[in-house]
Homo-oligomer: A and B are copies of this chain.
Amino acid sequence: MLIGELAGRAGTSTRTLRYYEQHGLVEPRRDANGYRRYDEAELRVVHEIRALLAVGFGLDDIRPFVACLRAGNTAGHVCPDSVAVLRRKLAEVETYLDRLADVRDRLRGQLAQAIEEREIRCLKIH
């Protein structure tokens, strides 16, 4: 499978695949031309990458998952390194959730206060 076909089947672009390769996530063989040649397994790898990116992982975080898949596991998140990243990310997400909840509360407070002030002004006028 050449890069264009893989991109089409994975729902992404050739640019993206070359970028992943540049960052050590995919390593296709090369034809005599220099053309990249991918096998079927790489399709699953690319899907894993895209799924993890969508969840908010960075390419560096994803590397262990890819290695895990390539080591023959049925899922990328069962290896120790992947689990470590999962734990770290979960912690990050949880603290970010807390911060965001604070922000939400502050915004609600400001909105409430703004509405209240508007009513006061309204009363003063009448």
Q: Mark A82-102, 1 if CB is under 8 A from B, else 0.
A: 110011011001101100110
A106 on interface, CB distance cutoff 8 Å? yes
With A55-B106, A93-B107, A106-B55 given, is the CB distance from A114 to B101 under 8 Å? no
User: Would you give the 0/1 interface string for A58-102, flagging 1 where the beta carbon is closer than 8 Å to chain B?
Assistant: 000000000000000001011000110011011001101100110
Closest to A106 in B: B55
A118 at the interface (CB under 8 A from B): yes
A108: chain B residues within 8 A (beta carbon): 90
How far, in whole Å, are A77 and B116 apart by their CA atoms in the complex? 12
Partner of A83, one of B78, B83, B100, B111: B111
CA distance A2 to B90 in the complex (A): 46
Given the complex, which residues of B lie within 8 Å of A103, measured CB to CB? 55-56, 93
Which residues from B are CB-within-8-Å of A56?
A: 103
Within 8 Å CB of A97, what residues of B?
97, 100-101, 104
